[in-house]
Protein backbone atom coordinates (compact mmCIF):
# COMPACT_ATOMS: atom_id res chain seq x y z
CA UNK A 1 0.00 0.00 0.00
CA UNK A 2 1.36 3.41 -0.89
CA UNK A 3 0.38 6.95 -0.10
CA UNK A 4 1.73 10.40 -0.88
CA UNK A 5 3.43 12.56 1.75
CA UNK A 6 5.61 15.57 0.93
CA UNK A 7 5.59 14.50 -2.76
CA UNK A 8 7.37 11.24 -1.86
CA UNK A 9 6.05 7.68 -2.18
CA UNK A 10 5.90 5.64 1.03
CA UNK A 11 5.28 1.92 1.53
CA UNK A 12 3.65 0.61 4.68
CA UNK A 13 4.94 -2.68 6.06
CA UNK A 14 7.11 -4.45 8.60
CA UNK A 15 10.82 -3.91 9.15
CA UNK A 16 12.57 -5.45 6.13
CA UNK A 17 14.82 -8.43 6.79
CA UNK A 18 17.76 -6.65 5.12
CA UNK A 19 17.72 -3.84 7.68
CA UNK A 20 20.24 -4.18 10.53
CA UNK A 21 19.01 -3.92 14.10
CA UNK A 22 21.97 -3.08 16.31
CA UNK A 23 23.19 -0.91 19.18
CA UNK A 24 24.90 2.48 19.28
CA UNK A 25 28.01 0.82 20.65
CA UNK A 26 28.22 -1.27 17.47
CA UNK A 27 27.04 1.39 15.02
CA UNK A 28 29.11 4.47 15.93
CA UNK A 29 32.21 5.50 17.83
CA UNK A 30 31.47 6.83 21.33
CA UNK A 31 34.43 8.95 22.39
CA UNK A 32 34.94 9.95 26.02
CA UNK A 33 36.89 12.96 27.28
CA UNK A 34 40.59 13.00 28.25
CA UNK A 35 40.72 12.24 31.97
CA UNK A 36 44.50 12.55 32.29
CA UNK A 37 46.56 14.98 34.34
CA UNK A 38 46.47 17.50 31.50
CA UNK A 39 42.69 17.92 31.70
CA UNK A 40 42.11 21.71 31.90
CA UNK A 41 41.34 23.48 35.16
CA UNK A 42 40.33 27.08 35.60
CA UNK A 43 43.94 28.34 35.41
CA UNK A 44 44.36 26.87 31.92
CA UNK A 45 41.76 29.01 30.20
CA UNK A 46 42.80 31.99 28.15
CA UNK A 47 41.21 34.95 26.42
CA UNK A 48 43.41 34.17 23.42
CA UNK A 49 41.55 32.03 20.91
CA UNK A 50 42.92 28.66 19.89
CA UNK A 51 40.89 25.68 21.02
CA UNK A 52 37.30 26.12 22.17
CA UNK A 53 36.63 24.01 25.26
CA UNK A 54 32.93 23.08 25.40
CA UNK A 55 30.88 22.69 28.54
CA UNK A 56 27.27 21.52 28.72
CA UNK A 57 25.96 25.10 28.50
CA UNK A 58 27.38 25.23 24.97
CA UNK A 59 25.00 22.46 23.85
CA UNK A 60 21.35 23.50 24.12
CA UNK A 61 18.54 21.28 22.87
CA UNK A 62 19.75 20.46 19.33
CA UNK A 63 22.38 23.11 18.63
CA UNK A 64 25.57 24.74 19.81
CA UNK A 65 25.38 27.96 21.78
CA UNK A 66 28.50 30.10 21.84
CA UNK A 67 27.13 32.96 23.96
CA UNK A 68 29.63 32.02 26.69
CA UNK A 69 33.00 30.65 25.53
CA UNK A 70 36.16 29.28 27.14
CA UNK A 71 39.42 28.67 25.27
CA UNK A 72 42.64 26.82 26.00
CA UNK A 73 46.02 27.62 24.50
CA UNK A 74 47.63 25.73 21.64
CA UNK A 75 50.25 24.45 24.08
CA UNK A 76 47.60 23.03 26.41
CA UNK A 77 45.69 21.60 23.47
CA UNK A 78 48.77 19.69 22.31
CA UNK A 79 49.11 18.05 25.74
CA UNK A 80 45.65 16.51 25.54
CA UNK A 81 45.61 13.03 24.06
CA UNK A 82 41.95 12.77 23.05
CA UNK A 83 39.41 13.73 21.72
CA UNK A 84 39.12 16.72 19.42
CA UNK A 85 35.98 17.18 17.36
CA UNK A 86 36.07 16.39 13.66
CA UNK A 87 33.65 17.93 11.18
CA UNK A 88 30.59 15.69 11.05
CA UNK A 89 30.84 14.65 14.71
CA UNK A 90 27.91 14.83 17.11
CA UNK A 91 28.05 15.94 20.74
CA UNK A 92 25.76 14.47 23.40
CA UNK A 93 25.45 15.89 26.92
CA UNK A 94 25.61 13.14 29.56
CA UNK A 95 25.60 14.98 32.89
CA UNK A 96 23.33 17.61 34.43
CA UNK A 97 20.97 18.45 31.58
CA UNK A 98 21.32 15.22 29.63
CA UNK A 99 20.34 14.34 26.09
CA UNK A 100 21.09 17.67 24.40
CA UNK A 101 22.77 17.20 21.03
CA UNK A 102 24.65 19.29 18.49
CA UNK A 103 26.10 18.56 15.05
CA UNK A 104 29.59 19.86 14.24
CA UNK A 105 28.75 21.05 10.73
CA UNK A 106 31.27 22.25 8.19
CA UNK A 107 29.99 25.79 8.82
CA UNK A 108 30.38 25.76 12.61
CA UNK A 109 32.68 28.78 13.18
CA UNK A 110 35.53 27.07 15.12
CA UNK A 111 38.19 24.75 13.75
CA UNK A 112 39.49 23.47 17.10
CA UNK A 113 36.97 22.20 19.65
CA UNK A 114 37.33 19.86 22.62
CA UNK A 115 34.71 18.67 25.12
CA UNK A 116 34.59 18.60 28.89
CA UNK A 117 33.59 15.74 31.16
CA UNK A 118 29.85 16.34 30.86
CA UNK A 119 29.49 15.06 27.29
CA UNK A 120 30.68 12.55 24.71
CA UNK A 121 31.46 12.63 21.00
CA UNK A 122 29.49 10.36 18.66
CA UNK A 123 31.38 9.66 15.42
CA UNK A 124 29.81 7.83 12.47
CA UNK A 125 31.60 5.72 9.88
CA UNK A 126 30.18 7.03 6.58
CA UNK A 127 30.58 3.58 5.00
CA UNK A 128 27.81 2.28 7.26
CA UNK A 129 25.87 5.21 8.72
CA UNK A 130 24.65 8.29 6.88
CA UNK A 131 25.43 11.47 8.81
CA UNK A 132 22.02 13.09 8.19
CA UNK A 133 20.18 9.85 9.03
CA UNK A 134 22.01 9.62 12.34
CA UNK A 135 21.21 13.25 13.15
CA UNK A 136 17.51 12.53 12.63
CA UNK A 137 17.83 9.49 14.89
CA UNK A 138 19.38 11.60 17.69
CA UNK A 139 16.48 14.05 17.52
CA UNK A 140 13.73 11.45 17.42
CA UNK A 141 11.67 9.71 20.09
CA UNK A 142 13.37 6.32 19.53
CA UNK A 143 16.61 7.74 20.92
CA UNK A 144 15.11 10.14 23.46
CA UNK A 145 12.84 7.53 25.06
CA UNK A 146 15.85 5.31 25.64
CA UNK A 147 17.93 7.90 27.46
CA UNK A 148 14.91 8.98 29.53
CA UNK A 149 14.43 5.36 30.62
CA UNK A 150 18.11 4.75 31.44
CA UNK A 151 19.30 8.03 32.91
CA UNK A 152 20.62 7.99 36.46
CA UNK A 153 18.29 9.75 38.87
CA UNK A 154 21.06 10.89 41.22
CA UNK A 155 21.37 14.44 42.54
CA UNK A 156 23.16 15.24 39.29
CA UNK A 157 21.48 13.30 36.44
CA UNK A 158 23.97 11.26 34.44
CA UNK A 159 23.92 9.05 31.38
CA UNK A 160 26.77 6.49 31.63
CA UNK A 161 28.54 5.46 28.45
CA UNK A 162 27.90 1.79 29.18
CA UNK A 163 24.18 2.55 28.91
CA UNK A 164 24.53 4.66 25.75
CA UNK A 165 26.26 1.71 24.06
CA UNK A 166 23.13 -0.42 24.58
CA UNK A 167 20.76 1.98 22.80
CA UNK A 168 18.87 0.40 19.91
CA UNK A 169 19.15 1.72 16.36
CA UNK A 170 17.80 0.32 13.07
CA UNK A 171 20.03 0.78 10.03
CA UNK A 172 18.65 0.36 6.52
CA UNK A 173 21.14 0.09 3.65
CA UNK A 174 22.89 3.41 3.02
CA UNK A 175 20.76 4.43 -0.01
CA UNK A 176 17.60 4.00 2.08
CA UNK A 177 19.16 5.86 5.02
CA UNK A 178 19.86 8.75 2.65
CA UNK A 179 16.28 8.68 1.31
CA UNK A 180 14.80 8.71 4.81
CA UNK A 181 17.11 11.54 5.84
CA UNK A 182 16.14 13.53 2.73
CA UNK A 183 12.43 13.33 3.58
CA UNK A 184 12.97 14.40 7.19
CA UNK A 185 15.53 17.04 6.22
CA UNK A 186 12.96 18.66 3.92
CA UNK A 187 10.97 19.54 7.04
CA UNK A 188 14.12 20.82 8.75
CA UNK A 189 14.98 22.96 5.73
CA UNK A 190 11.55 24.62 5.76
CA UNK A 191 11.81 25.18 9.51
CA UNK A 192 15.27 26.70 9.12
CA UNK A 193 14.04 29.05 6.37
CA UNK A 194 11.26 30.27 8.65
CA UNK A 195 13.71 30.75 11.53
CA UNK A 196 16.05 32.74 9.29
CA UNK A 197 13.12 34.87 8.11
CA UNK A 198 12.20 35.55 11.73
CA UNK A 199 15.77 36.63 12.52
CA UNK A 200 15.63 39.08 9.62
CA UNK A 201 12.22 40.38 10.67
CA UNK A 202 13.35 40.86 14.27
CA UNK A 203 16.53 42.62 13.15
CA UNK A 204 14.48 44.98 10.98
CA UNK A 205 12.17 45.92 13.86
CA UNK A 206 15.18 46.33 16.17
CA UNK A 207 16.92 48.65 13.71
CA UNK A 208 13.87 50.90 13.66
CA UNK A 209 13.78 50.79 17.47
CA UNK A 210 17.40 51.93 17.71
CA UNK A 211 16.82 54.74 15.21
CA UNK A 212 13.78 56.04 17.05
CA UNK A 213 14.68 55.41 20.69
CA UNK A 214 18.30 54.28 20.94
CA UNK A 215 19.91 57.69 21.30
CA UNK A 216 17.95 58.48 24.47
CA UNK A 217 18.92 57.25 27.96
CA UNK A 218 17.23 57.51 31.34
CA UNK A 219 19.78 60.13 32.39
CA UNK A 220 19.67 62.18 29.17
CA UNK A 221 17.48 65.07 28.10
CA UNK A 222 14.27 63.60 26.70
CA UNK A 223 11.77 64.93 24.15
CA UNK A 224 8.56 66.54 25.36
CA UNK A 225 6.07 64.03 26.73
CA UNK A 226 8.69 61.39 27.55
CA UNK A 227 9.10 60.23 31.13
CA UNK A 228 11.57 58.33 33.29
CA UNK A 229 10.37 56.24 36.18
CA UNK A 230 10.46 52.82 37.76
CA UNK A 231 8.97 49.84 35.97
CA UNK A 232 6.26 49.58 38.63
CA UNK A 233 5.25 53.20 37.98
CA UNK A 234 4.14 52.39 34.44
CA UNK A 235 3.13 48.73 34.19
CA UNK A 236 1.85 45.78 36.22
CA UNK A 237 4.47 43.22 37.28
CA UNK A 238 3.70 39.56 38.07
CA UNK A 239 6.18 37.11 39.58
CA UNK A 240 5.29 33.47 38.96
CA UNK A 241 4.91 30.54 41.33
CA UNK A 242 5.56 26.80 40.97
CA UNK A 243 3.02 24.36 42.40
CA UNK A 244 4.25 21.38 44.39
CA UNK A 245 5.69 18.76 42.06
CA UNK A 246 4.63 16.12 44.59
CA UNK A 247 1.05 16.55 43.42
CA UNK A 248 0.63 15.37 39.80
CA UNK A 249 -2.90 16.74 39.77
CA UNK A 250 -1.43 20.24 39.39
CA UNK A 251 0.20 19.52 36.02
CA UNK A 252 -0.89 18.48 32.57
CA UNK A 253 -3.82 20.55 31.39
CA UNK A 254 -4.39 23.61 29.22
CA UNK A 255 -2.69 26.54 31.00
CA UNK A 256 0.87 26.99 29.64
CA UNK A 257 3.44 27.02 32.46
CA UNK A 258 6.49 28.98 31.36
CA UNK A 259 9.98 28.17 32.64
CA UNK A 260 13.33 29.58 31.56
CA UNK A 261 14.08 26.76 29.04
CA UNK A 262 10.86 27.74 27.22
CA UNK A 263 12.26 31.24 26.65
CA UNK A 264 15.36 30.45 24.61
CA UNK A 265 15.76 31.56 20.99
CA UNK A 266 12.30 32.85 19.98
CA UNK A 267 10.51 36.19 20.34
CA UNK A 268 7.21 34.53 21.29
CA UNK A 269 6.59 31.52 23.53
CA UNK A 270 4.33 29.24 21.50
CA UNK A 271 5.10 25.98 23.30
CA UNK A 272 5.91 25.08 26.90
CA UNK A 273 7.30 21.88 28.36
CA UNK A 274 4.74 21.89 31.18
CA UNK A 275 1.15 23.02 31.62
CA UNK A 276 -1.09 23.46 34.64
CA UNK A 277 -4.52 22.10 35.49
CA UNK A 278 -7.44 24.49 35.51
CA UNK A 279 -7.95 23.88 39.25
CA UNK A 280 -4.41 24.89 40.17
CA UNK A 281 -4.26 27.84 37.77
CA UNK A 282 -7.58 29.19 39.07
CA UNK A 283 -6.36 28.84 42.67
CA UNK A 284 -3.80 31.56 41.94
CA UNK A 285 -5.61 33.81 39.49
CA UNK A 286 -3.28 36.68 40.39
CA UNK A 287 -0.41 34.75 38.73
CA UNK A 288 -1.97 34.79 35.26
CA UNK A 289 -0.12 36.81 32.63
CA UNK A 290 -2.22 37.57 29.55
CA UNK A 291 -1.28 37.17 25.91
CA UNK A 292 1.13 39.93 24.92
CA UNK A 293 3.01 40.11 28.24
CA UNK A 294 6.80 40.48 28.43
CA UNK A 295 8.56 37.69 30.37
CA UNK A 296 11.99 38.47 31.84
CA UNK A 297 14.15 35.73 33.39
CA UNK A 298 15.54 37.01 36.70
CA UNK A 299 17.15 34.06 38.54
CA UNK A 300 20.23 32.02 37.52
CA UNK A 301 19.89 32.74 33.77
CA UNK A 302 19.16 36.46 33.81
CA UNK A 303 18.05 38.63 30.89
CA UNK A 304 16.12 36.31 28.59
CA UNK A 305 13.14 38.16 27.10
CA UNK A 306 10.07 36.57 25.50
CA UNK A 307 6.45 37.45 24.75
CA UNK A 308 3.48 35.30 25.74
CA UNK A 309 1.33 34.12 22.83
CA UNK A 310 -1.59 33.12 25.09
CA UNK A 311 -2.72 33.52 28.68
CA UNK A 312 -0.13 31.73 30.82
CA UNK A 313 1.50 31.35 34.21
CA UNK A 314 5.23 31.22 34.98
CA UNK A 315 7.55 29.90 37.64
CA UNK A 316 9.16 32.14 40.26
CA UNK A 317 12.31 32.68 38.19
CA UNK A 318 10.40 34.95 35.83
CA UNK A 319 9.00 38.46 36.28
CA UNK A 320 6.38 39.43 33.71
CA UNK A 321 5.36 42.93 32.64
CA UNK A 322 1.76 43.41 31.58
CA UNK A 323 1.51 46.46 29.25
CA UNK A 324 -1.39 48.76 30.00
CA UNK A 325 -1.86 49.18 26.24
CA UNK A 326 -1.16 46.74 23.41
CA UNK A 327 0.83 49.40 21.56
CA UNK A 328 3.65 49.14 24.15
CA UNK A 329 4.42 45.50 23.31
CA UNK A 330 7.20 45.91 20.71
CA UNK A 331 8.77 48.88 22.50
CA UNK A 332 8.99 46.97 25.78
CA UNK A 333 10.39 43.87 24.09
CA UNK A 334 13.36 45.72 22.59
CA UNK A 335 13.79 47.93 25.66
CA UNK A 336 14.35 44.88 27.84
CA UNK A 337 16.47 43.00 25.30
CA UNK A 338 18.75 46.06 25.19
CA UNK A 339 18.95 46.01 29.02
CA UNK A 340 20.37 42.47 29.33
CA UNK A 341 23.83 43.54 30.52
CA UNK A 342 22.29 45.95 33.01
CA UNK A 343 20.00 43.23 34.37
CA UNK A 344 22.91 40.79 34.72
CA UNK A 345 24.85 43.48 36.60
CA UNK A 346 21.94 44.07 38.98
CA UNK A 347 21.49 40.34 39.52
CA UNK A 348 25.14 39.81 40.45
CA UNK A 349 25.15 42.26 43.37
CA UNK A 350 25.91 40.40 46.59
CA UNK A 351 24.83 36.97 45.34
CA UNK A 352 26.74 33.91 44.13
CA UNK A 353 23.75 33.05 41.92
CA UNK A 354 22.36 35.76 39.66
CA UNK A 355 19.10 36.89 41.22
CA UNK A 356 16.83 39.89 40.72
CA UNK A 357 13.92 39.64 43.10
CA UNK A 358 10.60 41.23 42.20
CA UNK A 359 11.13 44.20 44.51
CA UNK A 360 14.47 45.08 42.92
CA UNK A 361 13.13 44.46 39.42
CA UNK A 362 10.10 46.69 40.06
CA UNK A 363 12.38 49.59 40.94
CA UNK A 364 14.59 49.45 37.84
CA UNK A 365 14.48 52.78 36.03
CA UNK A 366 13.08 52.83 32.51
CA UNK A 367 11.98 55.32 29.85
CA UNK A 368 8.40 55.68 28.72
CA UNK A 369 8.18 57.68 25.46
CA UNK A 370 5.21 59.83 24.55
CA UNK A 371 2.17 57.70 23.70
CA UNK A 372 1.91 59.05 20.15
CA UNK A 373 5.50 57.93 19.46
CA UNK A 374 4.77 54.48 20.94
CA UNK A 375 1.66 54.11 18.79
CA UNK A 376 3.56 55.18 15.68
CA UNK A 377 6.26 52.57 16.37
CA UNK A 378 3.59 49.94 17.03
CA UNK A 379 1.95 50.73 13.69
CA UNK A 380 5.32 50.35 11.93
CA UNK A 381 6.53 47.08 13.47
CA UNK A 382 3.32 45.45 14.74
CA UNK A 383 2.81 43.63 11.40
CA UNK A 384 6.42 42.40 11.61
CA UNK A 385 5.77 40.84 15.03
CA UNK A 386 2.52 39.30 13.75
CA UNK A 387 4.47 37.67 10.89
CA UNK A 388 7.07 36.36 13.36
CA UNK A 389 4.30 34.76 15.43
CA UNK A 390 2.64 33.26 12.33
CA UNK A 391 5.98 31.75 11.31
CA UNK A 392 6.47 30.27 14.79
CA UNK A 393 3.08 28.56 14.60
CA UNK A 394 4.03 27.18 11.18
CA UNK A 395 7.33 25.93 12.62
CA UNK A 396 5.40 24.24 15.41
CA UNK A 397 3.12 22.51 12.90
CA UNK A 398 6.02 21.35 10.71
CA UNK A 399 7.90 20.09 13.75
CA UNK A 400 4.90 18.12 14.94
CA UNK A 401 4.44 16.45 11.55
CA UNK A 402 8.16 15.63 11.31
CA UNK A 403 8.28 14.26 14.85
CA UNK A 404 5.31 12.00 14.18
CA UNK A 405 6.79 10.73 10.91
CA UNK A 406 10.36 10.23 12.14
CA UNK A 407 9.90 7.12 14.34
CA UNK A 408 7.66 5.50 11.73
CA UNK A 409 10.36 5.89 9.10
CA UNK A 410 13.08 4.64 11.42
CA UNK A 411 11.29 1.54 12.63
CA UNK A 412 10.06 0.53 9.18
CA UNK A 413 6.37 1.22 9.79
CA UNK A 414 6.50 3.71 6.93
CA UNK A 415 9.05 3.24 4.18
CA UNK A 416 10.27 5.61 1.49
CA UNK A 417 11.04 4.54 -2.06
CA UNK A 418 14.61 5.16 -3.15
Question: Tens of pLDDT along 198-243?
Answer: 999 999 999 999 999 999 999 899 999 999 999 999 999 999 998 8
Q: For position 5, what pLDDT does the model report?
A: 38
Residue 334 has pLDDT above 80, yes or no: yes
Residue 11 has pLDDT above 60, yes or no: no
At residue 157, the 3 state secondary structure works out as: coil
For residues 60 and 90, is the Cβ–Cβ distance under 8 A? no
Higher pLDDT, 348 or 232: 232
Residue 336, judged by CB atoms within 10 A of its CB (0-12, 13-18, 19+), counts as buried
Condensed to tens digits (0 to 9), the pLDDT of residues 159-207 reads 889 999 999 999 999 999 999 999 999 999 999 999 999 999 999 999 9
Give mean pLDDT, residues 43-50: 84
- Average model confidence (pLDDT) across the chain: 90
The DSSP bridge partners found for residue 170 are 21
Most confident stretch, 64-68, 269-273, 411-415: 269-273
Q: For position 351, what pLDDT does the model report?
A: 64
Q: For position 72, what pLDDT does the model report?
A: 92
Condensed to tens digits (0 to 9), the pLDDT of residues 250-281 reads 888 889 999 998 998 799 999 998 999 988 88
Residue 377 has pLDDT above 60, yes or no: yes
Residue 153 has pLDDT above 80, yes or no: no
CA distance 106 to 51: 16
Domains of the chain: 20-171 (3.90.220.20), 227-368 (3.90.220.20)
Q: Give residues with Cβ within 8 angstroms of 349, minimum separation 6.
A: none
Residue 8 has pLDDT above 50, yes or no: no
Q: For position 350, what pLDDT does the model report?
A: 61
Residue 13 has pLDDT above 60, yes or no: no
Q: For position 154, what pLDDT does the model report?
A: 67
Lowest mean pLDDT among 36-50, 113-127, 263-277, 375-389: 36-50
Give mean pLDDT, residues 285-295: 96
Of the pLDDT bands very low, low, confident and very high (cuts 50, 70, 90), residue 14 is low
Of the pLDDT bands very low, low, confident and very high (cuts 50, 70, 90), residue 103 is very high
Helix or strand holding residue 92 (H, E): strand 90-93
CA distance 367 to 228: 5
CA 202 to chain centre: 17
Taking the CB of residue 35, how many other CB atoms lie within 10 A of it? 10
Give mean pLDDT, residues 345-367: 87
Amino acid sequence: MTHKTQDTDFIRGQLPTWWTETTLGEAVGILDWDRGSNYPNWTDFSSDWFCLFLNTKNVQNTQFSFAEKMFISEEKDNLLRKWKLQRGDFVLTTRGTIGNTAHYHSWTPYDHIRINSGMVILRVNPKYVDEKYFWQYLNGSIFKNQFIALQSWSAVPQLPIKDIKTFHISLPPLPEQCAIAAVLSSFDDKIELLREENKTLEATAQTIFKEWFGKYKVDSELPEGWRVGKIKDFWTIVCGKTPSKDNPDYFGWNTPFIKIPDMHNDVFIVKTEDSLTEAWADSQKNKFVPKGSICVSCIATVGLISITSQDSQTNQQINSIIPNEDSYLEYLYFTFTSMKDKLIGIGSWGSATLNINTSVFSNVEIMSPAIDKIQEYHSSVGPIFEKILTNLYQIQSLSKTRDELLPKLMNGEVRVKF
